[in-house]
Amino acid sequence: RSGWRRWVPSWRQWLGACVYAFIGMTGFVTIAYAVTDIPDDLNSFATQQDNVYYWADGSTMARTGWVSRQEMPLDKVPPKVRGAVLAAENASFYSDPGVSPSGFLRAVRAAVTGGETQGGSTITQQYVKNAYLNQDRTLSRKFTEILLALKLDNRTSKEKILQDYLNTSWFGRGTYGIQRASQAYYGKDVSQLNASEGAFLASLLKGAGLFDPTLSKENHDRAVERWSWILDRMVETGQLSKAERATYTTFPEPSSQSLAGMPGAQTGYLVELAKQYTIKAGHIKESEFDLGGYQIYTTFDPARMTALTAAVQAAQKDFDAEKRPDTDKYAKIGAASIAPDGRLLAVYGGPDYLKQGFNESNATTIPAGTAFTPIVYAAALEDGVLRTRGKARTPVSPSSPYDGNDQVTVQTPEGPYWDRSGKVVKGRNDGGRNWGQVTLRQAVADSINTPMLQLGLDVGLDRVESYAERSGLLGASLGPRIPTFALGENSTPSAIRMATVYQTFAADGMHTDPYSVRSVTRGGGAVPLDGPKPTRAMSAKTARAVTDALRATVTEGSAKTAAKAHPGAAGKTGTTAANTAGWFVASTDQESTAVVVYRMSLTDLIPLPLTGLGGDAQGTPGSARAVDLWADYIKAVK
């Protein structure tokens, strides 16, 4: 060869070079495939989910978590919805090896030329990119994606890959996964979607920002065109018959509303109660719960929550801390309503959970006052009294007489009760009133202190404490066993627990601990919960006698203003010696509700007197406001 031809490789050299290049490339890919392993850790958003909370009626109450995602088993996704995704993204998914050579070439061209991102990646490749890699448009990232896709396709079933892809894909509106997308766009679970709705959701996989029809007219036009194309494509791929396709002529307009946001206001208090109950009853570690994926079906009634919140807010309109800082500053209200079987129906926890995490319905900082005395009455009716040491206990009845006068000396079997300062303890009635001889039933109905103070010592404060716990109060909230223990002066149960006690009376002595969650699911399966079981706190006869006295409180005693709101209600007002709290706890056939009005700075948790609250006249008990609030609530829900 002469001239320029001597410098041109021969066909044998060209062939040899190609063979060597092929062998080298094959060896490189083989080695790269062998050393590339599927990562153990997925991207954080691919594993983390949100927790979704539901009202008692099944509607969504709130969601919590950094990522809006809920895993859904593939068999919960309707076949035609799956078919829409396959038709739109990867019709050959079940037959391909997990990669698309043509898609790879288009990606190479886009990376080299800097052009627009091209489609063509398989579902397996898209899942690998979402779950294990970043979104960089580089050849090295694309090469790694292909190797991982091949390896994943060899190791994992197609059903598992498709399930994981549907659970981790971005659908816009802050959602990952087709379950959350279905709820965000159509307000229902993915299992309820039809083929037309599924075709729209599948269109979002191409770019949610371009195909959410609620964002702009241009988006709407694109979404309709893409939706129609996907349905036609489903016919081509055998996912939909022509007859079925013909039924979908109207674009399934999604809702303009997205999912409920992070809980604030009253919802935040409900979510926190439900979360703590779920963790405890489900034996779940808090760190595991925070990874998300739980669907928590609560007991909270949205109508009752609305009514209770409105009643509290109406009562608070009378408080004016600027005009009356000495009487109205730090005024607070806590309330809780419980069903006969222990379900928490509604609570008022505070002005806004995001501003005040302190839950006023669940706080154990406020003395129960004389709302506690029905427990003393129940213990006496159940166990009798002991007036003389060494003698048998004497039965008592609702008609048993007691001294209702003011300044009556408290007696023990050994004589008068002396306090630590060396003074004889005497009972005091509200307003210093002398009632003379009264029955125990009247003492409860009219909230007369001196008989109940003496009755506590007669029955035994240890027995009173036992019945308090059996009826629903927590031992940690009960104070030391000194005479005023019988008047609730040193015990600080929450409004939730006080409502529980009165529900025990209304349930003929059967106590059920309050609970805020009916059921929990995760990944389509039920999470076992250790739910509360009814236990007998006292005999039915005793409970009915207590309820009879509480009805008398409403009809003829200290809570007569509540009678008009709900005839037949059984309740009791509660005040403290220092007038730092005003209670009203009452039961109806549907629920037991506790309301407490108090003043307290949350910085030092020291109770302050209610005297003059809201401009009330001197001597007006705080319980009057609690009664009025309860009446407003009950009238709204009965």
Q: What is the pLDDT of residue 556?
A: 87
What distances in angstroms separate CA 496 from CA 447, 493, 502, 550, 623, one per listed residue? 22, 8, 10, 19, 17
Tokens of 185: 């766009």
The contacts of residue 471 (CB under 8 Å, 6+ apart) are: 375, 378, 500, 501, 504, 505, 511, 537, 538
Nearest 5 degrees, angle CA 487-CA 587-CA 569? 105
357-396: buried (b, 16+ CB within 10 Å) or exposed (e) per residue? ebbbbbbebbbbbbbbbbbbbbbbbbbbbbeeeeeeeeeb
- Examine the domain organization and report whether 140 and 22 are in the same domain: no
Query: Distance between CA 114 and CA 109 in Å, rounded?
Result: 8
Q: What is the pLDDT of residue 32?
A: 53
pLDDT above 80 for 573: yes
Beta-strand runs (E) in 426-511 = 437-439, 510-511
Answer whether residue 546 is part of any domain: no
The per-residue pLDDT for 128 is 81
Specify whether the backbone of 488 is left (phi greater than 0), alpha (psi in -120 to 50) or beta: left
Global pTM? 0.75
Between CA 533 and CA 282 the distance in angstroms is 15
Confidence of residue 110 (pLDDT cuts 50, 70, 90): low
Q: What average pLDDT does this structure show over 151-161?
A: 82
CB atoms within 10 A of CB 323: 9
Q: Does some domain include residue 608? A: no
Indicate whether 450 pLDDT > 80.
yes
State the helix-helix crossing angle for 139-155 and 158-168, rounded to 10 degrees. 130
Whether 118 and 235 map to the same domain: the answer is yes
In a domain, 125, yes or no: yes
Contact present, 381 and 459 (Cβ < 8 Å): no
Cα–Cα dist 400/180, whole Å: 64
Which residues is 595 bridged to in the sheet? 335, 584
User: Residues 410-432: pLDDT tens digits?
Assistant: 998 888 998 888 899 999 998 89
Same domain, 126 and 211: yes
Phi, psi of 496 (to 5 degrees): -60, -45
What is the β-pairing status of strands 592-600 and 331-338?
antiparallel
Residue 331 lies inside a defined structural domain of this protein? no
Q: Quote the domain boundaries for residue 478.
A: 371-491
Strand-pair partners of 409? 426
CA–CA gap between residue 244 and residue 196 (Å, rounded): 10
Number of domains in the chain: 3
Least confident of 27-36, 73-82, 423-432: 27-36
Backbone phi, psi, residue 198, to 5°: -65, -35
Domain end, chosen from 491, 517, 549, is at: 491
Question: Under DSSP, is residue 96 helix (H, G, I), strand (E, B) or coil?
Answer: coil
Tokens found for residue 270 = 């409900």
Half-sphere exposure of residue 542, counting CA atoms within 13 Å on the CB side? 23
User: Is residue 507 in some structural domain?
Assistant: no
Q: How far apart are CA 91 and CA 237, in angstroms?
A: 7
Average pLDDT, integer, range 119-144: 67
Q: Are 202 and 83 in a shared domain?
A: yes
CATH number where 235 lies: 1.10.3810.10
Residue 298 in domain? no
Buried b (16+ CB within 10 A) or exposed e, 442-472: bbbbbbbbbbbbbbbbbbbbebbbbbbebbb
* Residue 187 exposure: Cα atoms within 13 Å on the Cβ side: 12
Give the pLDDT band (50/70/90) at residue 117: very low
Q: How confident is the model at residue 388 (pLDDT cuts 50, 70, 90)?
A: confident
Question: Average pLDDT, whole number, for the chain?
Answer: 87
Q: Is residue 420 part of a domain?
A: yes
Query: In what helix (H) or strand (E) does residue 607 lie, and over which residues does it extend?
Result: strand 607-608
Of the three residues 455, 471, 491, the one that is the final residue of a domain is: 491
376 and 487 together in one domain? yes
